[in-house]
Structure 1
């Protein structure tokens, strides 16, 4: 197996993953090739196709269902633009803005966004709901949603489903197959350079959605699609591709190769064992999540950890810690020591 760079004290995979040694080597080799005028769009294109196939395996779908891009919000915007005027979208309270804002931006067409408590998401789906959109793992809290009830509720009323797998793929075993659309940015738990994202589409989504951001890379034959006005888009999910951010792909493919070699169940057990160990040490309830949070309204705990060389994050008034493959028991011990010396820290609300 490949090895990560030294990640001791780095508890922020939910913000940005760390590179493996091969990811760094691939990025450096690409820079060297560029410096020798040896970069080639065709070489990058081959990497995109390998990355598409690797990601498809990670989320358990056929590569023909996978589109590539650079940002999840742009992919969600394609779905938002395809909604009929007056459509209702249901989202959880406090979900990540990339899942929500593209639909709010359609208000001029009468598209409405109804925000409900996460644990009531399935109950909130009703006749007339056009789409349910949510994150498999909530960014601010790490809460994992069992999608089965939401999927059943959506099917019962003919609503489509969109799930953001960004905080799940790479650490939690996930399948994109049950959803109409999924979006995933690869720079977090998949540990790729920023600038590589994926979307997956069901048969129904491929039939209904318009590739409103189509460019030359969405063509059936990419290299024959550089000029208009004739347009022949790819028959599969590639019609939703956008031109790749070339320099991100060598490292991304190296990262995806690594993730594909790791059993996702083992990665999840490793991460949740560490969060549970932290909960036991702090006297709080186990969350069984890879992301764990604690009240930190004034940011005192985050500042204390940062001063001690621990990289964490703060979201929604809480200290946010994430454990991934490079983390060890020593990281838990370090957090416990620092927080134990932080007088303002209270591990429960």
Structure 2
């Protein structure tokens, strides 16, 4: 395919990755940039030598918190840290009244659904096709929970329509941005909660997730997972029940996986230093070229993830046989194009599929 125009910043960022050729699976797990690898190895070496640096761990957590906030357009005081999106979703579920009506898309990722299905207290979960989600919000709906980008299909939700429909019915909104932040611009302030795990498109080690909360939600959500790290000063909050919790979103923190945050901070810094619109153009430009090569229609909203019917897994097997790392979900083959990919990856994948 003809070369796409890349900005100097994107080209420089691409050089921060040692791998990426033939890797079309950022939607499954991202690749660590060089600085992440170096930070994790340095920490392991220091720890193995008997010199773990607890102050540096705390600094990496706070640096990561602030960087994620900058990526989604809010202050660090609105960002809680954790390790799993399902834990964050369960915290949001605790804020709902008994018998609450929760709306989710059909085929939504389980970590967004199960915390509400199993919340008890008469909470009811109903589903609607993603394209009909906004129209399915009704008076009495307490929460709309959805992924901004669907994991199984790559479809991008009409977030503006969902938010408007929810506001008209005084419903809360929970957006899972795990498959979005890192290539799709996200404004967390338009949602009551955003959950995001950083090990996919943000290329951080697994074990780093974030939860952003609106003032409205924070006022009614109990810190059900509070531990020592939810204290206003974690190091004086290690014992007993008379702990002063943090006054901001840190009260919803879950004790961090230290080494994971050591690696996350440089990865988040890399993405925070890039223009979101340039990341979006790079990823979706490659995905669009791949769709054209396969003869697939363009989606209503551009996506970096391309999926197509593959019920027997034959297409995925052809990609794998050609040395290309891809994935399959719900009877569909799935590829993703990220910052470390280029036009050669498109051509190689198309050739593997006979196009």
Quote how far apart the aligned CAs of 1:219 are.
0.3
Please say if residues 231 and 243 of structure 2, whose CA atoms lie closer than 8 Å, have aligned partners that are also in contact: yes
Does residue 281 of structure 1 match 2:271?
Answer: no
CA-to-partner distance for each residue in 1:287-322, whole Å, 9 max, x for gaps? 331000011000011111111110000001000000
- Which residue of the partner structure matches residue 321 of structure 2? 307
Please say if residues 275 and 286 of structure 1, whose CA atoms lie closer than 8 Å, have aligned partners that are also in contact: no
- Which residue of the partner structure matches residue 294 of structure 1? 308
Alpha-carbon separation, structure 2, partners of 1:89 and 1:50: 34
- Which residue of the partner structure matches residue 177 of structure 2? 165
- DSSP-derived class of the 2:199 partner: coil
Aligned partner (choices 332, 336, 347) of residue 318 of structure 1:
332
Alpha-carbon separation, structure 2, partners of 1:183 and 1:154: 18
- Which residue of the partner structure matches residue 63 of structure 2? 50
Q: TM-score, normalised by structure 1?
A: 0.96
Alpha-carbon separation, structure 2, partners of 1:174 and 1:101: 24
CA-to-partner distance for each residue in 1:170-201, whole Å, 9 max, x for gaps? 11111101110110000000000000000000
Quote how far apart the aligned CAs of 1:149 are.
1.3
- Which residue of the partner structure matches residue 73 of structure 2? 60
Quote how far apart the aligned CAs of 1:229 are.
2.2
Aligned partner (choices 112, 121, 138) of residue 99 of structure 1:
112
Alpha-carbon separation, structure 1, partners of 2:131 and 2:230: 38
CA-to-partner distance for each residue in 1:256-305, whole Å, 9 max, x for gaps? 01011111111111111111111221222123310000110000111111
Aligned partner (choices 216, 223, 226) of residue 235 of structure 2:
223
- Which residue of the partner structure matches residue 9 of structure 2? none
- Which residue of the partner structure matches residue 88 of structure 1? 101
Alpha-carbon separation, structure 1, partners of 2:91 and 2:19: 38
- Which residue of the partner structure matches residue 196 of structure 2? 184
Quote how far apart the aligned CAs of 1:88 are.
0.6
Runs of 4+ in 1 over 4 A off after TM superposition: none
Does residue 210 of structure 1 match 2:218?
Answer: no
Equivalences for residues 1-349 of structure 1 within 5 A:
1-2=12-13, 3-106=16-119, 108-287=120-299, 288-340=302-354
Alpha-carbon separation, structure 2, partners of 1:111 and 1:140: 26
Quote how far apart the aligned CAs of 1:164 are.
0.4
- DSSP-derived class of the 1:177 partner: helix
Between the two proteins, the alignment pairs up a number of residues equal to 340
Alpha-carbon separation, structure 2, partners of 1:279 and 1:184: 27
Quote how far apart the aligned CAs of 1:148 are.
1.3
CA-to-partner distance for each residue in 1:35-82, whole Å, 9 max, x for gaps? 111112222011100110000000000100000000000000111122
- Which residue of the partner structure matches residue 5 of structure 2? none
Quote how far apart the aligned CAs of 1:250 are.
1.2
- DSSP-derived class of the 1:333 partner: helix
Q: TM-score, normalised by structure 2?
A: 0.94
Alpha-carbon separation, structure 1, partners of 2:175 and 2:326: 25
